[in-house]
Amino acid sequence: MQQSDQIRSGPPLLSLSGIVKQFPGCLANDHVDLVIGHNEIHALLGENGAGKSTLVKIIYGVMKPDAGEIRLNGEPVVVQSPAHARRLGIGMVFQHFSLFEALTVSENIALSLNDPEDRKGLQDRIAEISTSYGLPLDPSAAVHDLSVGERQRIEIVRCLLQKPKLLIMDEPTSVLTPQEVDKLFLVLRRLASEGCSILYISHKLKEIRELCEKATIMRLGRVVAHCTPAEKTSKELAELMISSELKPKDFKRDVPDDAPPRFVVNRLTVRSDHQFGTDLKAISFSVRQGEILGIAGIAGNGQTELMDALSGEVPAGKPETIMLDASAIGHMGPTERRKLGGCFVPEERNGHGAVTTMTLSENAFLSGNIRAHLSSMGFMSASRTATFTQGIIDRFDVRTTGPKAEARSLSGGNLQKFLVGREVQQNPSVLVINQPTWGVDAGAAIAIYDAIVQLADGGTAIVIISQDLDEIMLLCDRIAVIAAGRMSASIPVKDATVAQIGLLMGGTGMPAEEDAALV
């Protein structure tokens, strides 16, 4: 008998029995059982708020269960902390990055290494492993200057350096391009073949079907099904998660050719204020009334700088560089742009889109005060703000205890639904949204898409910055690509091909800086 057969015939690598975790007003895990075998890539599925993130935080020692047992290789263990989990051979890539922004890549990774000997030659090892696995990183780069996609690579490389026996991945591809996802899957399959089991959480069901051998499905804190993903369609997997039929949607619309432009950007040139950021070079585009423009690109090519310039967080130079309904706004800040009808959803939920220690009502007030009229005589109107917040919760099915719940109490997907809903409910003239469905389940994504399309049907001009090509192809009327701070001419989505967009993402066929024109 071969060694791999002996391993598989023995106890599983990890088994959970009767795991219970209670929070005020929420039973996050209700007697959960989970078994992961050796060399296995195992999916953990469920809609937002199903209890997945709570469960994996228990496995990794971030939280302690109220009841239940964990066994590792057949032996009972009590995981005391993440450091203890790492000593046991358990690594985790979080959906929300556990990084110190003021430190460099290598300094952040060093913090997770328990043995000082492991820190010797660390920069060389980071460079070596990141290159060999196709996840390039500069060990000396400061984290606060990195894109979300680059921060994701730090989390993955940090785990790979620890040579784990179990690697937990919570939404690892939510900010990766299709090409980067393909490279990551090669890494994960290689790890599994080398003896590392993987517990994989994702709402991208196509990925689950392609990558995972087995799946455990949770709903409302309980395990409700087990299956082999390859034997199910994406629609069947989604229906197991939500316990109802998922009706297909067609979001394609016809935008009249003579629809007037509502949002015009003309030769936007901005120097990045991040040390390792990307300068914007003569970016031009226009969005008509009722139109949805998708901007695709690989992480770190100027998306963050573009969002900052469009929202007013960074000045855009001359006033006429950006026009909103014929008003020159390039010199204005976010508050002035909101008064004229602009609404914005940033990429990073925690700290940028929401203040996590504040309630949902307080977060709703922060951006909704002006357009939703949530103040009176200079003071916040508690009743109007609570009504506005409850409207978001109800329309977008945000799983929470109510408007007084703190933002940090929500799962990542539910917080994303809330932030998108907060802007949509303001009925903007222009909506700019970065990564609209990052970390949300299939049902929630459709609800967000529905709301965006309804806005467009009502005349809103919408810009979607996304690294999810499938999302852009499904939702948008036209597509442009940003690469190295330059933007391609936009083309109708119906005329675009994945190969063509992929070449543009790599910089092939992009206009020269001096040739950039209004498109």
Cα(286)–Cα(266) distance, rounded to whole angstroms?
8
- Which range, of 101-105, 180-184, 229-233, 365-369, averages the lowest pLDDT? 180-184
Q: Which two tokens stand for residue 500?
A: 């063509």
Say what the pLDDT of residue 172 is: 81
| Residues 381 and 308 reside in one and the same domain | no
Residue 486 CB contacts under 8 Å (≥ 6 apart), including other chains: 281, 282, 283, 302, 510, 511, 513, 516
Is 249 a domain residue?
no
| CA within 13 Å, CB half, 394 | 6
Count of domains forming the chain? 3
Same domain, 149 and 282: no
Summarize pLDDT for 103-126 with one digit per residue, the tens.
999 999 998 776 777 778 899 899
- The rounded mean pLDDT for the chain is 88
Tens digit of each residue's pLDDT (9 = 90 or more) over 194-204: 899 999 998 88
d(CA 512, CA 338): 33
What are the residues facing 166 on neighbouring strands? 90, 197
Within a domain: 254: no
pLDDT at 6: 41
Report yes or no on 372 lying in a domain: yes
Instruction: Answer yes or no: is pLDDT of 5 > 70.
Output: no
pLDDT of 482 over the 90 cut: yes
pLDDT for residue 175: 61
My answer on whether 72 and 200 are in the same domain is: yes
- Residues 194 and 330 both lie in one domain: no
**Residue 457 predicted with pLDDT over 90:** yes
Q: What percentage of the chain carries pLDDT values higher than 90? A: 57
pLDDT for the residue numbered 178: 66
Do 308 and 386 sit in the same domain of this protein? Answer: no
DSSP state letters, 21-45 = EEETTEEEEEEEEEEE-TT-EEEEE
Task: Compare 258 and 78 and report the one with higher pLDDT.
Answer: 78
**Is residue 192 over pLDDT 90?**
yes
- Least confident range of 122-126, 175-179, 364-368, 501-505: 175-179
The whole-number pLDDT of residue 33 equals 97
pLDDT of res. 341: 96
Whole-angstrom distance, CA of residue 350 vs CA of residue 331: 27
Range of the domain at 460: 259-341+429-519
| pLDDT value of residue 249 | 65
User: 128: which 2 tokens?
Assistant: 């070596």
Cα 471 to Cα 144, 294, 439, 445, distances in angstroms: 27, 9, 13, 9
Whether the pLDDT of residue 277 is over 70: the answer is yes
Token pair 């109510």 is found at 402
- Residue 262 — φ and ψ, nearest 5°? -110, -25
- 236, 269: one domain: no
Of 164-178, 182-196, 240-254, minimum mean pLDDT range: 240-254
Q: Are residues 278 and 417 in the same domain?
A: no
**Domain presence at residue 250:** no
Which residue would you say has higher pLDDT here, 172 or 428? 428
- CA 59 to CA 425: how far, in whole Å? 38
Do residues 186 and 217 both lie within one domain? yes
Query: Residue 113's CB: how many other CB atoms inside 10 A?
Result: 17
Query: Do the Cβ atoms of 151 and 347 come closer than 8 Å?
Result: no
> Do residues 419 and 436 share a domain?
no
**For residue 504, pLDDT beyond 90:** no
For residue 1, the model assigns a pLDDT of 36
Coil, strand, or helix at residue 166? strand
State what percent of residues in the chain have pLDDT above 70: 93
Does the residue 306 lie in any domain? yes
How far is 460 from 304, CA to CA, in rounded Å?
Answer: 22
Q: Is the pLDDT of residue 265 over 70?
A: yes
Half-sphere exposure of 129 (CA within 13 A, CB side): 21
Q: Are 63 and 21 spatial neighbours (Cβ–Cβ below 8 Å)?
A: yes
The span from the CA of 287 to the CA of 259, in Å, is 10
Give the count of beta carbons closer than 10 Å to the beta carbon of residue 248: 6
Instruction: Name which of 179-183, 232-236, 298-302, 498-502 the model is least confident about.
Output: 179-183
Residue 248 belongs to some domain of the structure: no
**Going by C-beta distance under 8 Å and a sequence separation of 6 or more, which residues neighbour residue 361?**
382, 385, 386, 389, 403, 404
Q: Per residue in 43-54, pLDDT tens?
A: 999 987 889 989
Question: Does residue 210 fall inside a structural domain?
Answer: yes
Q: φ, ψ for residue 509 (rounded to 5)?
A: 85, 5
Considering the domain architecture, whether residues 105 and 231 belong to the same structural domain is answered as: yes
331, 316 contact by CB (below 8 A): yes
DSSP, residue by residue, 352-373: TTB-TTSBHHHHHHHHHHHHHT
Report pLDDT for 148. Answer: 66
Decide which of 375, 395, 427 is a domain's last residue.
427
Choose the final residue of a domain: 411, 427, 443. 427
Residue 499, judged by CB atoms within 10 A of its CB (0-12, 13-18, 19+), counts as exposed
pLDDT band at 3 (very low <50, low <70, confident <90, very high): very low
The Cα 341–Cα 170 span in angstroms is 36
7 or 46, which is more confident: 46
Amino acid at 27: L
pLDDT value of position 2? 42
Whole-number Å distance between alpha carbons of 30 and 51: 9
Give the CA radius of gyration of the chain.
23
- Same domain for 334 and 463, yes or no, is yes
Q: Where does the pLDDT of residue 176 fall: very low under 50, low under 70, confident under 90, or very high at 90 and above?
A: low
Count CB neighbours of 386 within 10 A: 19
Partnered with residue 42 across adjacent β-strands are 199, 214
Measured over the CA atoms of residue 318, residue 322, residue 328 and residue 331, the dihedral's sign is: negative
- Backbone angles phi and psi of 113, in degrees to 5: -95, 115
> Of 242, 269, 303, which closes a domain?
242
Higher confidence at residue 516 or residue 151?
151
- Look up the CATH number of the domain holding residue 91: 3.40.50.300
- Is residue 441 a part of any domain in this protein? yes
Q: What is the sign, positive or negative, of the torsion defined by CA atoms of 313, 382, 433, 136?
A: positive
Residue 492: strand, helix, or coil: strand
* pLDDT band with cut points at 50, 70 and 90 for residue 4: very low
CA–CA separation, 307 and 327 (whole Å): 19
Residue 146 has pLDDT above 60, yes or no: yes
71 compared with 517, residue with greater pLDDT: 71
Residues 50 and 23 in one domain: yes
Residue 516 pLDDT > 60, yes or no?
no
Please list the residues that pair with 35 across neighbouring strands. Answer: 15
Angle between helices 382-395 and 360-372 (to 10 degrees): 100
Say which residues have a Cβ less than 8 Å from residue 65's Cβ, sequence separation at least 6.
19, 20, 21, 29, 58
Residue 350 has which token pair?
């925690």
pLDDT at 501 over 60: yes
